């Protein structure tokens, strides 16, 4: 039936159109101008608009009645004026906003003088007073209020704050005006900040779910809230039971649950109802959320904890940049199985280098090394990305701790007690089955070759960087494999001409520590490598001239390596110095050589005592020659001492004779023997004149510098050397040809001669 009706309508339409077309065609043919007749192909053409009934116009021809005609601008200037007119009609504050923005463009210049900027700010205040809320909500004028609050005086800031202080929540929800709230927090007074933070009370759970106000709330919590205000903001997550029953004012959830254990279920349910929607939306970047989530994982029952961990495991990488975030990440790793840990490590892989250099994120990598049993997975997801940027990580203060944890593990020398306590809490993980020592050995073996290459490439630079030098010591003492290249790189820097490492404050300490490293994987130890380089470059004299270098030599002597050549060279150089010119390092070095020769040392026998006793015959002959020379020196000193004693006895006898003569002269009678006394006095004067002349000649002679010469300095203790010293006149020496040690000693003696003695 429907089809028949459509066919009937179609036929009727065709009939009417054909009749009208024929009429129009006849008229057109008679007039000689065919308007809408038949075409040559016999088909009807469309009806022209002139043939429409004017009494029944179509919808397209209808025009609205009663509305003013819209103006159309023809030129660009007219378009601009027309656009301005329309904005003025739609926004009554358009003129004011335009003037304010013009003044702000001038006032925001950084190099503008303060007085001139203050003039512009005053004009802005006059124009916008009473309308700050409208200006702050405009996308193109919100920065005006921020700049005025930043550069304005206290009175102007207070005027803006008084107008906006009751609209904090509204401003925080708008994208552009939220920056005005942050500006007031940043540049406002303590009282103004407290008022803004208090406006968030009661709205925390709602605001934290939204992106813009959540960022404002998180910034206020981290940077500006006091401890009391932080606790008040966190209370909304714990629910009304925490507020009502917290009579003693417990600040933390743990203290409250310990005092009110029966309220745990209510508090945990409230926290779960808040956190589940947040984790479902992926809102986990805020510090305040990390704090609440950490408390939940600590005190929630196992079932609720596992449910939330399943939602959080892929979001850990977004939370480990904060203190609480890193701790909750470690808790998640502790309470997850091997399958979930694999998912977590996959999310870490693109950001391993950044995580290693974060203040708190690096602790998560340390936890991975202690918890994950699949070391092959750790190598693929963590160790290989670390090796790709190992140079930057070794130089970074936090990245260095990751490498130290692999080499030195939980050494209190490198990690504070708080960090060690956090890492020790991971030891009771129910999902970690492998022996910790075996896990650590496997990881160290994986990373050893990479770390040794780093030392070979950057060892000297790392050794001069304070605590980074300790990383070099741990790498060379703990890592496995041949370390010859690393040893040679550091030794080459130690024996170079300009700025050698043994003169550096930190570098010489690293050399001392490396001298005691026992390495069974390298054919030649570091101490032996360094001694060979010192002998080859003749650096003993330069190192003895530097106190730090002398201590490095002392460490080489104490290392247990054969050092007969070094000891002989040190003994040959010491006589060039007086006892006062010996630095503390040289004194200790001589003492160690003496004890080494005797096969003893202050803590027991030296490890190298047996090696020194097995020297070849040539060394023994040299020692015998030295002993003979020492005996000859003793005989000469004894003969000289006897001659000095005879001279002193003769002088004493002369003095006694003079005293007897004087007594006899006094006993004689002055009156009777006056003449004889005068003659005796004249004779005495004649005898004294030659003696006076000799004394004057001695005074006129210039004083010669005195040098102390010791007998077998290197083989005798300090007290014996002091007793056996004697003064002699040294030969004249050209100071330009002196060695560093001799130049240093002669300079001290010359200064001592120029300095007048105190009487």
Would you say 386 and 393 are in contact if contact means Cβ atoms under 8 Å apart? yes
Quick one: tokens of 670?
A: 């002055």
Phi, psi dihedral angles at 569 (to 5 degrees): -70, -40
For residue 593, which of 577, 573, 576 has the smallest C-alpha distance? 573
pLDDT over 80 (residue 605): no
Classify the phi-psi angles of 43: left when phi > 0, otherwise alpha if psi is within -120 to 50, otherwise beta.
Answer: beta
The whole-number pLDDT of residue 326 equals 96
CB contact at 8 A, 184 and 164: yes
Residue 392 — pLDDT band, cuts 50, 70, 90?
very high
- In whole angstroms, give the CA distance from residue 589 to residue 558: 9
Residue with tokens 């959080």: 312
Q: How far is CA 328 from the centre of its chain?
A: 24
Average pLDDT, the chain: 77
- Mind listing the pLDDT tens digit for each residue in 647-667? 555 555 555 555 555 555 556
Nearest to 415 by CA among 392, 429, 398: 398
Confidence at residue 717, expressed as pLDDT on a 0 to 100 scale: 42
Q: Would the CA dihedral through 583, 589, 594, 595 be positive or negative?
A: positive
Describe the crossing of helices 507-515 and 436-463 by its angle, rounded to 10 degrees.
140
- What is the Cα–Cα distance from 590 to 582, expressed in whole angstroms? 10
- CA angle 749/751/752 to nearest 5° reads 65
Structure token pair of residue 19: 């009749």
* pLDDT digits 0-9 by tens, 142-199: 999 999 999 999 999 999 999 999 999 999 999 999 999 999 999 999 999 999 999 9
Query: pLDDT band at 592, cuts 50/70/90?
Result: confident
Residues written for the chain: 759
Q: Which of 324-328, 480-484, 509-513, 729-733 has the lowest mean pLDDT?
A: 729-733
**Can you give the pLDDT at residue 722?**
40
Mention every residue, 6+ apart, whose C-beta is less than 8 A from residue 467. 397, 400, 414
CB atoms within 10 A of CB 539: 21
Q: Check pLDDT > 60 for residue 742.
A: no
Output the pLDDT for position 635.
53
Say whether pLDDT at 261 is over 80. Answer: yes
Three-class DSSP category at 755: coil
Read off the pLDDT band of 467 (50, 70, 90): confident
CA neighbours closer than 13 Å in the CB half-sphere of residue 220: 38
Task: Render the burial of 374-411: b for 16+ CB within 10 Å, e for the rest.
Answer: ebebbbebbbebbbebbeebbbbebbbbbbbbbbbbee
Per-residue pLDDT for 24 more than 50?
no
Instruction: List the structure tokens of 475.
Output: 């790498």
More confident residue, 744 or 717: 744
State residue 748's pLDDT score: 55
User: pLDDT-based confidence at 268, cuts 50/70/90?
Assistant: very high
The answer to which of 204-208, 385-389, 617-621 has the lowest mean pLDDT is 617-621
Least confident of 264-278, 291-305, 605-619: 605-619
pLDDT in tens, 274-311: 999 999 888 888 999 999 999 999 999 999 999 999 99
pLDDT on residue 52:
46
**In the predicted structure, residue 377 carries a pLDDT above the cut 50:** yes
Give yes or no for residue 45 having a pLDDT over 70. no
Query: If residue 375 lies in a helix (H) or strand (E), which one and from where to where?
Result: helix 375-378
CB 354 within 8 A of CB 388: no
Which pLDDT belongs to residue 34? 42
Long-range contacts of 293-296 (CB under 8 A, 24+ apart): 293/319, 293/324, 293/328, 294/324, 294/325, 294/327, 294/328, 294/331, 295/252, 295/253, 295/254, 295/271, 296/268, 296/271, 296/272
Report CA 207 to chain centroid distance, whole Å.
35
State yes or no: pLDDT of 269 exceeds 90: yes
Beta strands (DSSP E) in 261-315 are none
Tell me how far the alpha carbon of residue 602 is from its chain's centroid.
Answer: 40
This prediction's pTM: 0.68
User: pLDDT at residue 82 above 80?
Assistant: no
pLDDT of residue 281: 87
pLDDT level of residue 646 (50, 70, 90 thresholds)? low
pLDDT at residue 1, as a whole number: 44
Pick from 18-22, 83-87, 393-397, 623-627 the range whose average pLDDT is largest: 393-397
pLDDT digits 0-9 by tens, 94-137? 888 889 999 999 998 988 999 999 999 999 999 999 999 999 99
pLDDT at 220 over 90: yes
User: Does the structure show a pLDDT above 60 at 409?
Assistant: yes
Whether residue 384 contacts residue 426, with contact meaning beta carbons closer than 8 Å, is answered with no
Cα 175 to its chain centre, rounded Å, is 35
- Compute the average pLDDT of residues 400-415: 94
Helix residue spans in 425-563 (DSSP H)? 436-463, 467-478, 484-494, 507-515, 526-537, 540-545, 547-558
Q: Would you place residue 53 in the very low, low, confident or very high pLDDT band (cuts 50, 70, 90)?
A: very low
pLDDT band at 616 (very low <50, low <70, confident <90, very high): very low
């Amino acid at each position: 039936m429907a089809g028949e009706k459509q066919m009937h309508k179609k036929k009727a339409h065709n009939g009417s159109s054909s009749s009208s077309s024929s009429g129009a065609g006849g008229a057109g043919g008679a007039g000689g101008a065919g308007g809408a007749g038949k075409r040559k192909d016999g088909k009807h053409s469309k009806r022209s608009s002139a043939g429409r009934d004017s009494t029944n116009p179509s919808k397209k021809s209808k025009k609205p009645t009663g509305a003013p005609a819209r103006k159309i601008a023809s030129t660009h200037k007219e378009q601009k004026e027309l656009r301005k007119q329309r904005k003025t009609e739609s926004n009554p504050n358009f003129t004011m906003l335009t003037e304010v923005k013009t003044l702000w463009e001038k006032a925001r210049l950084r190099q503008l003088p303060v007085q001139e900027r203050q003039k512009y700010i005053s004009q802005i205040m006059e124009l916008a007073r009473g309308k700050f809320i409208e200006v702050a909500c405009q996308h193109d004028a919100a920065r005006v209020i921020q700049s005025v609050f930043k550069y304005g005086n206290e009175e102007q800031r207070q005027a803006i704050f008084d107008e906006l202080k009751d609209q904090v929540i509204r401003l925080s929800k708008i994208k552009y005006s939220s920056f005005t709230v942050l500006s007031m927090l940043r540049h406002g007074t303590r009282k103004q900040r407290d008022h803004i933070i208090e406006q968030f009370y009661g709205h925390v759970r709602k605001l934290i779910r939204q992106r813009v106000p959540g960022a404002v709330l998180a910034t206020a919590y981290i940077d500006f809230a006091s401890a009391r205000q932080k606790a008040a903001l966190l209370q909304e997550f714990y629910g009304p039971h925490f507020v009502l029953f917290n009579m003693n004012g417990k600040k933390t959830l743990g203290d409250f649950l310990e005092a009110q254990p029966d309220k745990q279920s209510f508090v945990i349910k409230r926290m779960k109802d808040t956190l589940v929607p947040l984790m479902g939306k992926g809102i986990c970047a805020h510090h305040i959320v990390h704090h609440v989530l950490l408390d939940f994982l600590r005190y929630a029952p196992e079932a609720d904890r596992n449910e939330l961990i399943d939602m959080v495991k892929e979001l850990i990488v977004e939370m480990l940049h904060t203190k609480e975030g890193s701790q909750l990440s470690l808790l998640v790793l502790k309470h997850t199985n091997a399958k979930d840990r694999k998912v977590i490590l996959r999310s870490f892989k693109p950001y391993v280098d950044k995580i290693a250099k974060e203040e708190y994120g690096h602790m998560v990598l340390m936890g991975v090394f202690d918890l994950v049993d699949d070391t092959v997975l750790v190598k693929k997801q963590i160790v290989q990305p670390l090796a790709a940027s190992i140079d930057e990580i070794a130089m970074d203060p936090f990245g260095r701790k990751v490498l130290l944890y692999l080499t030195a593990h939980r050494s209190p020398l490198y990690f504070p007690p708080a960090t060690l306590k956090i890492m020790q809490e991971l030891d009771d993980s129910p999902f970690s089955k492998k022996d910790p020592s075996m896990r650590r050995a496997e990881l160290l073996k994986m990373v050893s070759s990479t770390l040794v290459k780093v030392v070979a490439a950057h060892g000297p630079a790392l050794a001069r960087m304070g605590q980074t030098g300790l990383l070099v010591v741990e790498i060379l003492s703990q890592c496995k494999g041949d370390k010859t290249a690393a040893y040679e790189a550091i030794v080459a820097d130690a024996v170079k001409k300009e700025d050698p490492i043994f003169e550096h404050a930190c570098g010489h300490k690293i050399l001392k520590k490396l001298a005691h490293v026992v390495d069974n994987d390298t054919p030649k130890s570091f101490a032996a490598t360094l001694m060979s380089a010192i002998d080859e470059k003749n650096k003993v004299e330069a190192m003895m001239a530097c106190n730090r270098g002398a201590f490095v030599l002392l460490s080489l002597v104490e290392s247990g390596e054969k050092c007969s050549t070094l000891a002989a060279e040190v003994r040959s150089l010491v006589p060039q110095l007086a006892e006062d010119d010996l630095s503390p390092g040289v004194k200790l070095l001589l003492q160690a050589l003496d004890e080494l020769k005797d096969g003893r040392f202050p803590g027991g026998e030296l490890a190298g005592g047996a090696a020194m006793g097995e020297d070849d015959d040539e060394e023994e002959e040299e020692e015998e020659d030295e002993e003979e020379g020492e005996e000859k020196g003793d005989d000469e000193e004894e003969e000289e001492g006897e001659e000095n004693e005879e001279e002193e006895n003769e002088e004493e006898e002369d003095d006694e004779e003079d005293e007897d003569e004087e007594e006899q002269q006094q006993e004689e009678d002055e009156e009777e023997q006056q003449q004889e006394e005068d003659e005796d006095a004249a004779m005495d004067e004649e005898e004294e004149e030659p003696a006076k002349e000799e004394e004057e000649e001695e005074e006129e002679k210039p004083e010669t510098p005195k040098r102390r010469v010791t007998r077998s300095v290197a083989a005798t203790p300090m007290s014996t050397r002091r007793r056996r010293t004697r003064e002699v006149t040294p030969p004249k020496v050209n100071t330009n040809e002196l060695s560093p040690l001799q130049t240093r000693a002669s300079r001290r003696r010359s200064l001592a001669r120029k300095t007048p003695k105190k009487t």
